Amino acid sequence: MLKEEVLRALEERPGERVTGGDLARRLNVSRTAVWKAVNALKREGISISSARNSGYRFEGHNNVLADRGIRKALRTRLLGNRIELLKTVDSTSSYLKKLDPATLQEGFVVVADGQTAGRGRRGRPFRSPGGEGVYMSVLLKPDLPLADIRFLTIGAALAVCSAVEKTCGVSPQVKWVNDIYCRGRKLCGILTEGSVSAELQTMNHVVVGIGINTGILDREVGDLAISLRELTDAGDIRNLLIAEVLNAMEIVYTALTADGRRQELLEAYREKLFVIGQEVEVAAPGENYPAVAVGLDETGGLMVRDGSGRIRHLCSEEISVRVSGRPGGSAFHL
């Protein structure tokens, strides 16, 4: 497409002005066609300055998700072998699941600039305003027993932590099992959904959905959420962040599926957990109870000590961290 070629030609000469005539000659099109292509790029949010008679200058990608921007930093063989970029979608995970994953190659990734019906765990909505976050879903077809599905969430959490560290220089922490926090506020949520073979007790496919706040947060989230914007002045790093999440996820995934290095993964995950030793409120089907998080078992389940001193192993329950000093010792999601 001409606009892609114009962009490439401008990117090749950073900081320099290139005249419309030069571009037209090089690309063998008219100056009007160049002008139209530049306007289309500007409408997509790519910053190109133009000055009468002296031409166009590429000023940078302005918060635009771009396949090329992602691929520049992608070092994977499997994850991201195909990436579909969408402007808006209800939910990247719902979209991927509707595409019929059985027919798709493992590693297929859907990324959206914004979601209109982003989903979190337990049917909760996940706020996904356009341009203000990374919303991505990755299709996996792991050759693992069903019981291991939690390791995929654990691996994705480690991958997000590593990608955030790499791109922003900050070290996030994890609230078991799927939430990433910085400075006590939620930065990212992960939703792992699978289609299983009941007969074989294996996974047919798994969709790992990742939502990371990168831009301006809605006021309603108050001080419960945080965005990378507050943590780094690196500007818009969404393309790079997506690539680094996939890079890290592939390493973790390979370790899990091929090398069977799950003890190492668990150890790395345990180090990232900030809830160990904390008072938590456990939300289990039919009961809520206070407990203290005491460790992680070999399946990635959180171990808590309840009020009667009994150690319980959590699977799909949710925890919230109890904040001491709050009236009534109330619990809330950090």
Binding-site string for ligand BTN from residue 122 to residue 151, where x marks contact by CB under 6 A and - marks none:
--x-x--------xxx--------------
| Residue 68 CB, nearest approach to ligand BTN (Å) | 22
Q: Pick the closer one to ligand BTN by CB: 76 or 137.
A: 137
Q: Are 151 and 144 in contact (CB under 8 A)?
A: yes
Q: Beta strand 109-115 with 133-140: parallel, antiparallel or unpaired?
A: antiparallel
157 lies in the site for ligand BTN, by CB under 6 A? no
Which residue number is nearest to ligand BTN in terms of Cβ? 189
Nearest alpha-carbon partner for 185 in 318, 319, 326, 334:
334
| Residue 212 CB, nearest approach to ligand BTN (Å) | 8
Rounded Cα distance, 228 and 165, in Å: 11
Residue 265 three-state SS:
helix
Q: Which residues pair with 313 in a beta bridge?
A: 303
91 lies in the site for ligand BTN, by CB under 6 A? yes
69 lies in the site for ligand BTN, by CB under 6 A? no
| Residue 129 CB, nearest approach to ligand BTN (Å) | 12
Binding positions for ligand BTN, 182-211, rule CB under 6 A: 189-191, 209-211
Rounded Cα distance, 124 and 110, in Å: 21
Binding positions for ligand BTN, 251-270, rule CB under 6 A: none
Q: Beta strand 179-182 with 185-197: parallel, antiparallel or unpaired?
A: antiparallel
Q: Are 97 and 193 in contact (CB under 8 A)?
A: yes
Binding positions for ligand BTN, 210-239, rule CB under 6 A: 210-211
Number of chain residues interacting with ligand BTN (CB under 6 A): 19
Residue 161 three-state SS:
helix
Q: Pick the closer one to ligand BTN by CB: 42 or 121.
A: 121
| Residue 157 CB, nearest approach to ligand BTN (Å) | 11
Terminal-residue alpha carbon distance, the chain? 46
Q: Which residue has the tokens 């706040």?
A: 213
Interface ranges with ligand BTN (CB under 6 A): 91-93, 115, 118-121, 124, 126, 135-137, 189-191, 209-211
